[in-house]
Structure 1
């Protein structure tokens, strides 16, 4: 279990913290193109999009990753197929930070076509309370991000799928009722998105990266401390966060799993 962000916060938060360049992209996938190329061919508008005028920024991303694009692929996608992370080029146009190009092979219930060209407020509107609580701060971060500084945050959810390509929630959540209580450790997964942002010094945009890590629930039982930390975050999650993540859909299964492994206390410790 590489990342456990629920040990830091039960709620959603910006939580951006600086990291060294050596820790920027975590890798962990021998051949990302083998996973991404079929999606690019078969589900093109779900996983890829670019706006007019975004090629200079795309080329800077490719250069940053040491990729020399050919003529047959957009530069951002040529770069994305060499790394495990999804890559999103965000640039300021008409006074707003907007998604100008995106390679999205591991979406968590959204598609490239939904966010392409949209500004940060529109993108985060479905996240209950985000724009009211965090949008102004996020915009200040994007405006003030200096070259050479890399920031990281981690986001988490619970899903009943071991697949990284999940553009739509309905087909996955339709199977929740088929999960037996004894199978939760294998059927449910923590889905962690490790996200980073860094300035593109030449074109002025921001490169946003997303790396998804999926771990079966059974890994939570590797230590009592690990299980207790998850149980505490699960039960203390703010209502708007829990609603956005669909926690209520998994509540019976998760609570049964926690109780079966000794975490029977309530949020209030009763």
Structure 2
């Protein structure tokens, strides 16, 4: 499939907040006939990985559910579920509820069925600073600005951002990187284009006006690296972003593990995609 977003074109190989306003009609992208058919088995098998809530979060959860009610119909079996979990069964996105507790924005509930190397249990209750602590250099560059964005978000405004990585898996459910990256030595250079996947996160943020919380959504898209062959401009932008990625970005994304495979993939596709002579 062709990815609907190409953030390596927009932001290159560095961290960026990159938020932009979008119309309400563009809030949830869909693209999945029945998200509950994927999410329900994960909840049954891995409850602590895919779901978590803190005491006192139900009012904000209910407000988030009301927002989803406006765009996605209710499904059977939701009545006894926590409100945010009921909402998450209807949408392809993962849903994360942020609330201001003791002067700090914290993650108070989340449904996480397409995790990118973390779990609900690990993230629940953490502040914005704690959630981004694994990202080298994030706090001094973006921490204060991110707090201001959450605190100043006005009702009715929906913000969107996107980011990207490369991983040797087409799975949506990837709570841990270890079993995936352990398979890297087994990948033949000839197979890199099929096995390595671009993994794109499309995120949105909007205020819950009644409770004052914020609803953060995460929609994962992925496609084999070889799909870039259909778009030379996208491929050239990827080569540039990969080769010029900052050290912090590369470390956090684990790019060193893929360098040989990705560079081989790019070289086969010709010197016209080199960025060395610019």
Q: Same fold (TM over 0.5)?
A: yes
C-alpha distance after superposition, 1:167-208 (max 9, x if no partner): 000000000111101111110000000000000011100000
Distance verdict in 2 for CA 1:226–1:91, change over 3 Å:
same
* Structure 1 gap ranges (5+): none
Corresponding residue number in structure 1 for 2:62: 59
CA separation in 1, counterparts of 2:232 and 2:273? Answer: 14
Q: For 1:151, which of 159, 166, 169 is the aligned residue?
A: 159
Corresponding residue number in structure 2 for 1:164: 172
Corresponding residue number in structure 1 for 2:101: 93
The more displaced of 221-230 and 163-172 is: 221-230
The more displaced of 257-266 and 63-72 is: 63-72
Corresponding residue number in structure 1 for 2:215: 207
SS at match of 1:90: strand
Under a length normalisation based on structure 1, what TM-score does the superposition of the two structures give?
A: 0.97
Q: Verify: 1:4 aligned to 2:6, yes or no.
A: yes
Under a length normalisation based on structure 2, what TM-score does the superposition of the two structures give?
A: 0.94
CA separation in 2, counterparts of 1:107 and 1:52? Answer: 23
CA separation in 2, counterparts of 1:71 and 1:84? Answer: 20
Over the aligned positions, Cα root-mean-square deviation in angstroms equals 1.3
> How far does residue 268 in structure 1 lie from its aligned partner after superposition?
3.0
Alignment of 1:96-111 (within 5 A): 96-111=104-119
Corresponding residue number in structure 2 for 1:232: 240
* Structure 2 gap ranges (5+): none
Corresponding residue number in structure 1 for 2:142: 134
CA separation in 2, counterparts of 1:112 and 1:269? Answer: 45
CA separation in 2, counterparts of 1:225 and 1:41? Answer: 43
CA separation in 1, counterparts of 2:231 and 2:206? Answer: 35
Q: Check the 8 A contact 1:98/1:120 in 2, yes or no.
A: yes
> How far does residue 118 in structure 1 lie from its aligned partner after superposition?
0.6
> Number of residue pairs matched?
270
Alignment of 1:113-132 (within 5 A): 113-132=121-140
Q: Check the 8 A contact 1:161/1:188 in 2, yes or no.
A: yes
